[in-house]
Structure 1
Amino acid sequence: MSQIKKGAALNYTSIILTNIVGLLLTPFIIKKLGDAEFGLYSLIGAFVGYISILDLGLGNTVVRFVAKYRAEKDKEGEENFLATTMIIYAFISTCVIIIGTICYLNIESIFEDSLTPDQINSAKIMFAILVFTLTVGLPAGTFEATCYGYEQFVFPKIAKILHYVVRSLMVVGLLLWGGKAVALVILDASMNLILFGVMIYFVLARLKVKFKLHNFSKRLLKKIFGYSLWIFVFALVGQFQWRVGQLVLGVMTDPTIVAIFAVGVMLGTYYGAFSTAISGVFLPRATQMTVTNASPKELTDMMIKIGRLSFIVLMFILSAFILFGEQFIFLWVGESYKDSWVIALIIMFAYTLPLVQAFGNSILEAQNKLSFKAIIYLVFLILGTIFGGYLAKYYGAIGMIAGTVTGWLIVQN
């Protein structure tokens, strides 16, 4: 079995495991933390998510360029590119520290109307830990991306599955021991640092990849940012899709509403993950097809093949969730989270078609043709977020997601 097939299989294993464990673990976490603290935990994670976009799209850029250099058998170019990327990440990590410090000093003023003094203190601690992890994690992400550029999907996928299993078991133990949200953040940070070390070892010791600066080329920098800029814009789109609602609700309402919204969004992202498990492993292949000048028919045939499989999987999940989702939510986290079902359902309906067409984005990434699409998506999602904030005044979490999705639907049509 090829690395791509194994990677897709492991993606589905990871998704099924993540969904099952997540479905079992989430009500346990909510019960142990309480609605308010779980909402606070979700809110700070979303807040830090905005700083994570300082990655500037370099993760996908590494996959694309490493695959390109390998297709061209240009080892020196690959080494020089990776070394240049690490220099860029050193600058980015410095920016993360500066911006994180500014945000840390202003957390109290941002959330003074929605959080209690004790919640603000906990928020500051969690924020500081998450920013530190992000500072290390952004450059460390280069190593995982390098694995994918080499079409080595098996090791990183297995490592991440093991990481998730161990982390989940430790979360249970920690909460039974009496740990709270801050303890969960410390655990996550520790586990992530271990995972970063494992990825670095595999790339350097097993794949024998070298990071060597042969020359510092402004032309290469221009190519990197010319490509990554639009991946960065799509990262902004991702933030407006999934995280901005939590932040807006966190400022306007209270952590309990944020918790309801977070659960609905979590179920919506589980839905999307089943599709991206297939399309996500095909960026290196799309890049190689582009480099070797594959015909439009070959690219279209590949897109149809992947889209058909994604559609079958998504329709099965969507049908089941329409029929049994509300009852499931009541049994899973309680009747107070009934709005989470509506939120998840809105997301699923809105994103089915884009998910089926996801390989088209991989082709656009490989051909560096994302600019127009990225700008349009960002503009309308910002407008959708503003509309969602307005609706949230009257309809709470459901209004927030309805506004966000409206912007997305306008883009699609």
Structure 2
Amino acid sequence: MAVGFFFAPFILHRLGDAAYGVWVLAISVVGYLGLMDLGLQSSVLRFVSKGHTTGDHEGSSEAISAALWVRLQIGAVCLVLSVGLAAIFPLWFKVPPALASDARKAILLIGLTTVIGMTFGVASAVLSALNRYDLQNYVGLTQTAIRVMGVVYALRTGHGIISIAFCELIAIIVSSALLLYTAHRLYPELKVKLQKPKRETLRKLWVYSSYAFLTTIAVQLVYQADNLVVGAFVSATAVTYYAIGNSLCRYASQIVGSIGGSFVPAASTYEAAGDTAGLLALFRNGTRATIMVSLPILITLVVRGRTFIALWMGPQYARSSGTVLIILCTALFFSFANRTAASIAYGVEKHKASALWAISEGVTNLILSVVLVRWYGIYGVALGTMIPSLIVHVVFWPRYISKLVGLSAFEVIWNVWAPMFLAGVPFVIASYAMAAFPVHNLTMFFIQVLATLPVYFLAVAFIFRGYVRQQVVPRIRSVLFTSAH
């Protein structure tokens, strides 16, 4: 988040609105190559986690070998598609002629980066399956550091989007090498064989990954199609205004995703052990933890998002990007509330229905965005994203997860969601009150936000006062007693 907050305005102001919009469009277009993953990342996570838990190292090895074999072939196809995308990119979108050549070269580099990351991403899935998110995050931080240092140097020396794309390529090469090495050290029993896998292994992977693949398509339609619609029907410059608001939602999603991602192997472990009580506890506590983390972020973005954007990117972006942000965040309140449920569905191989909902949401999003952009511009695209998301996450998900964990849909909403949302009400009031005091820089803005956070946590503590009294207070006393002696 720190990199996103402070790095994005640096890139924007160095490149300018048009070049930044072209860069976002290029990333969005090439992002569709991620669909070629076919959901294999989720399959590797699921079967390596299960194989490691049950001691079936041969099954784990077969799964990761098959996934890597398939991905190497997919990677070759993606490279060819990147060449085609580079050729037609300036023809599809309203790209300024002066940036057409740079855009083509950047797409080729981004395509190569995507192929390397996708091919060797199986190693990242191994780390996730073993619950070694600490090591996975160290590698991610290393990749980010390399990228940041490279891009800062490139832009300060007068280079443009081609240099940024090259820095992304170097960073992914280094991180892929680190992931492969780390995965081998953590799970030496894995034996990777680059040969045609057994038909049964491929069938097992595809049965699981096919629905994960549909979900991947839906994610691409939801998160990447919006930029493409704006670029095709409005302008490359308008993409910048939309992307600013959308990027803040993405940063929030990364935080929540890092929490929910750890629940997939946990759910697999509970399911493999037949621990239904553990699965129910994972849902209750995971959902409450996810909402507790995400709610103050979303409330701040909705109540004070325009102020933040004005300080972050510039006052000229506050109104348009801020409105986009408010619309998109409205859907995220309920999307984040269901993040744990989605992780559990994947972990126990009950994600078929969610995949179908996701693809329906993505298609509806695209259609509505294309229709509404003609009437409301970039706000229409945001509305096209919000409406289907609310329907899926408010109507369908509570009913579905209730069947998996043994709660009624009413209990999901009233006993799990409602207490956490209720705890956010005092924070909303405090945020509106704090907004009455003017701020002139980001430091003061963050100080104001931090000053209001105790209101939220006190409300959470009051609602769950029984748990605090029985579990939290004794632990605090134990720590204080130990420290005193």
Q: Comparing 102-111 with 58-67, which one deviates more in the overlay?
A: 102-111
CA distance in 1, matches of 2:194, 2:6: 47
The answer (yes or no) to whether the contact 1:50–1:239 under 8 Å persists in 2 is yes
Alpha-carbon contact 1:385-1:407 (below 8 Å) kept: no
Give the one of 38, 62, 65 matched to 1:83.
Answer: 65
* 2:326 paired with 1:341: no
Q: 1:224-263 deviations in whole A, cap 9, x for unaligned?
A: 0110111111111111111101011111121110011111
Q: What amino acid is aligned across from residue 110 of structure 1 in structure 2? A: W
The answer on 1:139 being equivalent to 2:119 is: yes
- Pick from 347, 369, 376 the counterpart of residue 366 of structure 1: 347
Distance 1:377 1:89 in 2: 24
1:32-111, aligned counterparts within 5 Å? 32-111=14-93
TM-score, normalised to structure 1's length? 0.90
Counterpart CA distance in 1 for 2:302 and 2:349 is 38
Q: Does 1:245 align with 2:226?
A: yes
Give 1:277 deviation, angstroms.
Answer: 2.2
Structure 1 counterpart of 2:137, from 157, 179, 189: 157
For residue 369 of structure 2, the aligned residue among 362, 367, 388 is 388
Contact 2:41 2:125 in 1 (8 A): yes
Aligned partner of residue 377 in structure 2, secondary structure: helix
**2:192 aligns with one of 185, 201, 211:** 211
Change (3 A) 1:381 1:86: closer
> 1:183 maps to which residue?
163
One-letter amino acid of the counterpart of residue 73, structure 1: G
Find the aligned partners of 1:329 and 1:322 in 2 and give their Cα distance: 11
Pick closer, same or farther for the CA change 1:215–1:180 going to 2, 3 Å.
closer
Give the distance between the partners of 2:133 and 2:360, measured in 1 at CA. 34
1:3: which partner in 2?
none
Secondary structure of the residue aligned to 2:68 is helix
CA distance in structure 2 between the aligned counterparts of 1:283 and 1:303, rounded to whole angstroms? 11
* Alignment check: 8 A CA contact 1:287 1:367 kept: yes
Cα distance in 2 between the residues matched to 1:336 and 1:26 = 15
Instruction: State the 1:205 CA deviation.
Output: 4.3
- 1:197-236 matches, cutoff 5 A: 197-205=177-185, 207-208=187-188, 209-212=190-193, 216-236=197-217
Does the 8 Å CA contact 1:275/1:356 hold for their aligned counterparts? Answer: no
Partner residue in 2 for 1:291: 272
1:319 aligns with 2:311: no
**Pairwise CA distance, 1:39:** 0.6
Q: Secondary structure at the match of 1:308?
A: helix
Post-superposition CA distance 1:2-40 (Å, at most 9, x none): xxxxxxxxxxxxxxxxx1222111111111100110110
1:216 counterpart SS class: coil
**Code of the aligned partner of 1:265:** N
CA distance in 2, matches of 1:275, 1:135: 26
Match of 1:115 in 2: 95
* Secondary structure in structure 1 of the residue aligned to 2:349: coil
Unaligned runs of at least 5 residues, structure 1? 1-18
Aligned mates of 1:216, 1:116 — CA distance in 2: 47
TM-score (norm 2): 0.77
1:350 corresponds to which of 324, 331, 356: 331
Distance 2:278 2:299 in 1: 32
Question: Per the alignment, do residues 69 and 215 of structure 1 end up closer, same or farther by CA in structure 2, a change over 3 Å counting?
Answer: farther
Would the aligned equivalents of 1:46 and 1:244 in 2 still touch at CA under 8 Å? yes
Q: Distance in 1 between matches of 2:64 and 2:365?
A: 37
CA distance in 1, matches of 2:193, 2:9: 48
Work out the percentage of aligned pairs sharing the same amino acid. 23
- Paired with 1:109 and 1:326, the residues of 2 have a C-alpha distance of 34
SS at 1:203 equivalent:
helix
Tell which deviates more after alignment, 114-123 or 204-213. 204-213
Tell me what 1:310 maps to: 290
Q: Deviations over 1:341-368 (max 9, x none)?
A: 2222222221222212212112211222
Quote the residue 2:435 is aligned against.
none
Task: Tell which deviates more after alignment, 30-39 or 95-104.
Answer: 95-104
The one-character-per-residue Cα deviations of 1:86-128 (angstroms, maximum 9, x if unpaired) are: 11112211221232233233224322xx112222211110111
1:293-328 per-residue CA deviation (whole Å, 9 max, x = no partner) reads 221x43222111011112122221223223322111
Contact between 1:271 and 1:348, CA under 8 Å: does it hold in 2? no
Matches within 5 A, 1:11-26: 19-26=1-8
User: 1:400 maps to what in 2?
Assistant: 381
Q: Which amino acid aligns with 2:284?
A: I
Distance 1:314 1:205 in 2: 34
Q: Which string of whole-angstrom CA distances, capped at 9 and with x for unpartnered residues, describes residues 351-400 of structure 1?
A: 22221221211221122222222112212321222111121123221110
Gaps of 5+ in 2: 396-485
Distance 1:213 1:108, change over 3 A: closer
Q: Equivalents in 2 of 1:22, 1:86: separation in Å?
A: 31
1:193 is the counterpart of 2:193: no
In the TM superposition, residue 329 of structure 1 has moved relative to its aligned partner by 1.0
Q: Does the 8 Å contact 1:246/1:261 carry over to 2?
A: yes
State the distance in 1 between where 2:139 and 2:216 align: 25
- Which one has the largest radius of gyration? 2
Counterpart check, 1:126 vs 2:127 = no
| Larger RCO, structure (CA 8 Å, separation 6 or more) | 1
Distance between the aligned counterparts of 1:318 and 1:249, measured in 2? 24
Q: For 2:209, what is the secondary structure of its paired residue?
A: helix
- Does structure 2 retain, via aligned residues, the 8 Å contact 1:80–1:215? no
- Which amino acid counterpart does residue 354 of structure 2 have in structure 1? K
Note closer, same or farther for the CA distance 1:214–1:138 as it changes in structure 2 (3 Å cut).
Answer: closer
Which amino acid is the alignment partner of residue 281 of structure 1? Answer: S
Which of structure 1's runs of 4+ aligned residues deviate more than 4 A? none
